Structures are given as C-alpha cells and as structure tokens.
Amino acid sequence: MLLENKQVAIIGGGPSGLTLARLLQLQNVNVKVYERDLNKNARVQGSPLDLHDESGLAAIRKADLFNEFKNNFMPGADKTRIVDEQATIFFSNHETNLEEDFDNTYFRPEIDRGVLRKIILESLQPKTVVWDSHFISMEAQNGGWLLHFKNGSSAYADIVIASDGANSKIRPYITDIKPFYSGITMLEGNVYQSKKTTPYIDSIIDGGKIMAFGNTKNLLLGQKGGGDLGFYASFKADENWATNNSLDYSDKVQMLEWFKKEYPEWSSVWHELFENVAIPFIPRPIYCMPLNQTWEALPNLTMIGDAAHVMPPFAGEGANMAMLDALELSEYLTSDNYNTVQEAISIYELNMCKRAAKAAQESLENGEKMHSKDALKTMLHFFSEH
C-alpha cells in the first residue's frame, strides 16, 4: 500500500478531516489530526448539516458509522417552510414530509455539527487528535514536512492533508489561486432555547427550516440541536461591508435598528430574533473558488473541503463535498492502482476540482435566484418541482 510505514498529518478537525482520519485508520494507516481548538468542547459548532446519500452519507457508511448516525440525527429537521417578508406561509412540506426513509436517495437527514463531530471523534484511536495545535508554517524535510504550531511544538509527517477551512494556511503551499467574493454577505445569529425565547418564530419553524424572501433579501432559519435555532440575514453587499459598516455586532439594540432600516418592508414578527439573539452576530462574506482552478499535484501534500473548494452555501453541498473528498482521497491513497502517492493525489485532485466546480456553479446560480426580485416565486417553483 502507498501509505505503508508513512505518517499522515491532517490539519483541521472538522467533519471532513475527522472522517478522513477514520477512513485511513480503518486501513491501518498511521494518522494524526492537528486541531487548533484547545479541546473537543472548546467551540460551539455551527448550523446542522443535511447529508446527501451520494456524498456525506456515503462517507459515513464507509466509515462504518451509519448506525451511530441514525441514532443521533434530527428527525424532521429537513422540513421546510417558505414564507414572504410578512411571515405568510406559501409552501410547507411539514404535513407530507413525515417519513424518515434512509432507503430514499432524496432523503437528506440533518444532524447537529457538534453531534457529528462527537460521533467521529469517538470512533478514532486514542490520541489521534492533537489538540491546541494551531498551524503556523511548515518546511520541506526528508521527503516530507516539518510542521510548526503556535504553541511552540513541531511534528514531522510524510504526507500532509489540509482540512483547515476557507482561510487555509496550507493552501498557499499548493497554489496561489484565491477565492472571489460572491457579492453576498450573511449575518449569522443564534438563539438559545427558541421555544421559550422566540415562541412565535419557533411555532413557524416547528423543528425544521424557514426560508423567508422579500425585496432581494433573505432570512434563513434552521433548528439546531438542544432546542436552539440559528439564523442568517442574507443580502447583496460590498465585499468590505462587514468591516466598514460601523456596526457593533454585540449591541442588540443597534442590530435591531439595522434590520429595521435595511429590511424596511419586513414584518415586526422577525424582531423577536434580534431581541433575543445570543450576541455577537457573526458577519460572513460569502466566497467561492474559481470554477476552472487547476494546479500541479505535489508528491506529499493535498487538501480537502473548504480549503480546496470553498463555495456559497446555497446548494447545501459544502460539507457534503468535503466528506466526499475524504472518502475519495482515502480510497485513492489506499489503492493498489497507483504507482506513487503523487499519482494518486493527482487523480483525486482532478476529479475533486471537476465535481466541486459543478456544485459551486449550482450554488452561485441559486444565490442569485434567492436574492432576486422574484426570489419568492422562483423558490416556490423550485420546491413544487422537488
């Protein structure tokens, strides 16, 4: 096997990095995951993930974690309601989307990110994850890489795999291609115990999702684990809006006034979110990698997930593509069909870039549709066909 007697380092302990570690360990590969978090409980995980049969779920099955997934997913969290700016419901599949059918390839079960991370973490061999390892640099050494971390420690690896997200510090060692701004910014907020704190919104969301469209702007809401909900105000804005707007993201009163000003046609029912949000808000300018990106494959370094192909979230493909990266890369690196690690990486990267470009194109197009004047009509038509 190509990785026999090789030490593999994965930089970043998100779903894709941990999944890759699990898949490689099932093939008896020596692997470490270097994660900047101080420990497994250091950070609140983001919105739930809806996993797709051909990508995220395929990786979970190959990792022999499907039963754990089924025991921990969020039944009903994929239910959707589409509303206008007045919170009038135009579409709801709450009455028809009743069956949790894992045999249906179109079923997209949701799971809390933190729960998914816990499931994969517990499947790994002890001490696989090296916590408090914030990567800062690396240098070529003995055919591999000497990694340096913020805490002063160093580690050697024969092969390094970047899984360190959209702002990857390892990507520049592979290519100087940079992402471009999509034109859309999202303002993320979270509400704890929404049934008590935002009862009216909670009654509409009813354990699922809300997509609200009005006047080229969106509010996108989703139930999270533990009775919390996450929401995003999504709108077209200048690339530097997040840093140039003079807003205090920790000031609820100021942020509510911003919403009233920027979403003037929207009903006051939405104010409940801004009045009960867990501050601070987090601004997220949405970026995308160029759809035609290519680079020369290296013999001991590659990347997966957002590090390789960050894309807008408007097709639900980001995490799924990342977990499919983990699945495919593990198969290429443990296959007997390639003569060298570089050849395996080259084939992986070629296929990864092709399918990521297709998903990114769909995400960009969906983003434009969702922020158009006819967004409500367009999205109602889309959901009626699906």
Looking up residue 190, the CATH number of its domain turns out to be 3.30.9.30
Q: Do 172 and 308 share a domain, yes or no?
A: yes
- Regarding whether 352 and 297 lie in a shared domain, the answer is yes
Q: Contact 188/284 with Cβ under 8 angstroms?
A: yes
Give the length of the chain: 386
Lay out the sheet containing 301-303: strands in order across. Answer: 129-130, 30-34, 7-11, 159-162, 301-303
- The arithmetic mean of pLDDT across residues 187-196, rounded, is 95
For the chain, helix (H) and strand (E) counts, in that order, are 13, 17
**39 — pLDDT class (breaks 50, 70, 90):** confident
The domain that holds 300 is classified in CATH as: 3.50.50.60
What is the pLDDT at residue 335? 95
Distance of CA 220 to the CA centre of its chain: 15
Give the pTM: 0.93
Sign of torsion over alpha carbons 247, 253, 256, 262: negative
Same domain, 206 and 313: no
Structure tokens that stand for 127 in this block: 């001490």
Show the DSSP H helices in the chain as ranges.
15-25, 56-62, 66-72, 113-123, 194-197, 199-205, 241-244, 252-262, 271-275, 306-309, 318-333, 341-370, 375-385
- Count of domains observed in the chain: 2
Which band of pLDDT confidence, cut at 50, 70 and 90, is reported for residue 385? Answer: confident
Look at residue 298 and tell me whether its pLDDT is greater than 60.
yes
Supply the mean pLDDT for the chain. 93
Give the mean model confidence (pLDDT) for residues 290-313. Answer: 97
Tokens of 112: 């809390």
Could you tell me if 116 and 206 lie in one domain?
no
Is residue 302 within 8 Å of 145, Cβ to Cβ? no
Spatial separation of the C-alpha atoms in residues 255 and 338, rounded to whole Å: 55
Rounded to a whole number of angstroms, the distance between the first and last alpha carbons of the chain is: 44
pLDDT attached to residue 185: 98
User: Which has more pLDDT, 385 or 296?
Assistant: 296
Residue 295 and residue 235 share a domain:
no
Q: Do the domain assignments include residue 11?
A: yes
177: phi then psi, degrees, rounded to nearest 5: -70, 130
Residue 96 located in a structural domain: no
Q: Is the pLDDT of residue 46 over 70?
A: no
The vertex-1 CA angle with 354 and 121, nearest 5°, equals 70
Closest CA to 343 of 332, 327, 334: 332
Distances (CA, A) of 39 to 5, 43, 120, 298: 28, 9, 15, 32
In the predicted model, is pLDDT for residue 66 greater than 90?
Answer: yes
- Over 70: is that where the pLDDT of 130 sits? yes
Co-location of 244 and 363 in the same domain? no
**Is 325 in contact with 306 (CB distance < 8 Å)?**
no
* Model pLDDT for residues 213-246, shown as the tens digit of each residue: 999 999 999 988 788 999 999 999 999 999 999 9
What mean pLDDT do residues 42-46 have? 63
Confidence of residue 50 (pLDDT cuts 50, 70, 90): confident
Q: How far is residue 69's CA from residue 243's CA, in Å, rounded to a whole number?
A: 39
Measured distance CA(137)–CA(152) in Å, rounded: 11
Q: Which helix (H) or strand (E) holds 34?
A: strand 30-34
**266 token code pair:** 């929207």
Q: In which band, very low, low, confident or very high, does the pLDDT at 96 lie, cut at 50, 70 and 90?
A: confident
Side-chain-side CA neighbours of 187 within 13 Å: the count stands at 27
Residues in a beta bridge with 161: 10, 302
Q: Which two tokens stand for residue 306?
A: 């957002």
- Rounded to an integer, the average pLDDT of 201-213 is 94
What per-residue confidence (pLDDT) applies to 75?
84
What distance lies between CA 218 and its chain's CA centroid?
19
Is residue 125 domain-shared with residue 201, that is, in the same domain?
A: no
Chain-centroid distance, C-alpha 91? 26
Domain assignment present for residue 375? The answer is no
List the beta bridge partners of residue 191. Answer: 229
pLDDT number for residue 128: 98
At 136-165, the pLDDT tens digits run 999 999 999 999 999 999 999 999 999 999
- Is residue 45's pLDDT more than 80? no
Secondary structure (3-state) at 207? coil
Alpha carbons 235 and 185: distance in angstroms, whole number: 6
| Cβ contacts of 215 within 8 Å, gap of 6 or more | 85, 263, 265, 266, 373
pLDDT at residue 98 tops 70? no
Give the range of the structural domain holding residue 321, as residue numbers without chain letter. 7-74+111-178+289-368
Higher pLDDT, residue 8 or 317: 8
Q: Which of 287, 305, 331 delimits the end of a domain?
A: 287
User: Is there a domain that residue 103 lies in?
Assistant: no
Contact 119, 69 (CB under 8 A): yes
Q: Which residue has the tokens 């979110």?
A: 273
Q: What per-residue confidence (pLDDT) applies to 48? A: 81
Q: Over 70: is that where the pLDDT of 99 sits?
A: no
Buried b (16+ CB within 10 A) or exposed e, 357-376: bebbebbbebbbbbbeeebb
Is residue 50 one of the residues assigned to a domain?
Answer: yes
Report yes or no on 332 lying in a domain. Answer: yes
